[in-house]
A = this chain, B = another copy of it.
């Protein structure tokens, strides 16, 4: 759209792009969205779906436990999966009031959940927004969403239309307040957009409302950029993962290219995701880096910190033997917590720090604190702790969270690895005889190669990719997935269902909308000595096709410079309809380049 403002020319044009009106933002609002056929009538108009019981029961790992916690919900839904169907007689439902909130960190597509809800509720029902997440639900911060607002937010990124927060609703007083908000606003439905904790919370609210005799459907929507909410064939992936992993892949792809261009840097990239390494796996499949650590494999294979450092250093050295003194190393944010010996060290430390809290606090210097603590650790843990960089050792001893525990999440994983890799690589240069030659674990190299390696310097740049991936503009896939999740959730409310999570599956053949009983997803787990009901996180499965493709290829990617790059997310053109490679592999799809989630239509709100 050219700007020909005759008063002040282009400057005024630029002013007018503020407040989310860039050329791009205006254009994506107009983009059509794929809509599953079950939500369209013969004329192609959006209408609510009906639901029938699919022949699948989701059984929690701890069925007895969840039966005790959710007796009423399970009584209603029998943990049975529901499948959306075209209604026999189109229901004419009106006057329903449905509220929606965001919970936890932002993810791309949240606004299209709202758009989908509004579209399926139509003009005869009312959509309300709850500001600032669960806190807003407690405080009753509710407003009616206007049709014109939808035209503004459709297909845009972020959660800023409502805001979000991380309050967990757990006390009786909080539940009481939630009920108050629901009753006061005469809500027939509450849609909670969030991750595993938020969906667990939704299940509790559903049970509580049943018990209190309040008629209000509670429906969860699976959101997390980490991709750790997934339920086999029923829910291949949560929303936000595709956009975030594509943004990280774009940047990692650029860094692999930068490494090969400047021919001197090793880029160590920490990727967001504290528990599952799904993002790292997907980014690795997209970009073919020299190294990608997978936390689940580290735990499964009982890898030690030294073992990981040796693995990375060996790849650096083997590439150097081929004259390749550059590369990219992907490090999942939470990997340290998956190293079994680190877990042991931290468990022992927590115990010691709790038992001798005042003694340790009263010791005047770090030196004295160390001398006090070391003899109380197992020899293995003491040795591991002594091998850590000074700052990390200090941080482990001094920094505590509110429960007095070591702040594991604050350990600067990539710095720890960089520090130790730097040292080991310098050792390889200093004592080549220990690392080259014949014998177990030694590398083959000619004397010339060894001399060449000794002249090489190691330049490492560290990066953290996180926040920039949470609020990107949704990919066409995330835009469609979320819109259909919104349609599913809205249909569930209108059908009077409660205690379900909306899900969409079958991305390669038109899409299928499902409702998964939340109680069937929840199990009980001991967390910090307390039994809690939680939705089990979906981690990288080492027997999955996606991991297999990675594992089969990684040595080749390590030893040659075979990087590739998916480029920036495209909203138009031949590459705009890709889904995550790992999802396509694990679902057994034959293709990842062209998702099919129904008829592609421009959405109008009337």
A residues touching B (Cβ–Cβ < 8 Å)?
1-4, 9-11, 14-15, 17-25, 27-28, 102, 105-106, 132, 157-160, 163-165, 247, 250-251, 253-255, 257-258, 260-263, 265, 267, 285-286, 288, 461, 463, 467-473, 545, 548-549, 552-553, 556-557, 562-576, 578, 581, 584-585, 589-594
Name 15 interchain pairs, CB-CB below 8 A, sorted by A.
A4-B591, A9-B590, A14-B585, A15-B553, A19-B563, A22-B253, A22-B566, A23-B575, A23-B578, A105-B262, A132-B263, A163-B261, A254-B468, A261-B470, A572-B572
- The distance in angstroms between the C-alpha atoms of A288 and B18, with both chains bound, is 7
Q: Which residues of B contact A255 (CB under 8 A)?
A: 467-468, 471
> CB < 8 Å: which of B11, B27, B159, B263 contacts A585?
B11
Shortest A588–chain B CB gap in Å is 8
Determine whether the beta carbon of A2 is less than 8 Å from that of B557.
no
Copies of this chain present? 2
Known A11-B545, A17-B564; 18 more pairs at CB < 8 Å: A9-B590, A10-B581, A10-B584, A10-B589, A20-B564, A20-B565, A23-B578, A23-B593, A132-B263, A157-B257, A164-B263, A247-B254, A251-B468, A254-B468, A255-B467, A258-B471, A473-B567, A568-B571
Q: Which of A1, A4, A102, A260 has the most CB of B within 10 A?
A: A260
> CB < 8 Å: which of B20, B159, B461, B593 contacts A467?
B461
Q: Which residues of B contact A4 (CB under 8 A)?
A: 590-591
- The distance in angstroms between the C-alpha atoms of A288 and B25, with both chains bound, is 14
Determine whether the beta carbon of A563 is less than 8 Å from that of B20.
yes
CB within 8 Å for A569 and B572 given contacts A157-B257, A159-B261, A267-B467? no
Q: Which residues of B contact A569 (CB under 8 A)?
A: 568
Shortest A245–chain B CB gap in Å is 14
Determine whether the beta carbon of A160 is less than 8 Å from that of B260.
yes
Shortest A5–chain B CB gap in Å is 9
Shortest A70–chain B CB gap in Å is 31
- The distance in angstroms between the C-alpha atoms of A602 and B21, with both chains bound, is 33
Determine whether the beta carbon of A473 is less than 8 Å from that of B158.
no
Q: Which residues of B contact A3 (CB under 8 A)?
A: 590-591
Closest to A467 in B: B258
Closest to A286 in B: B22
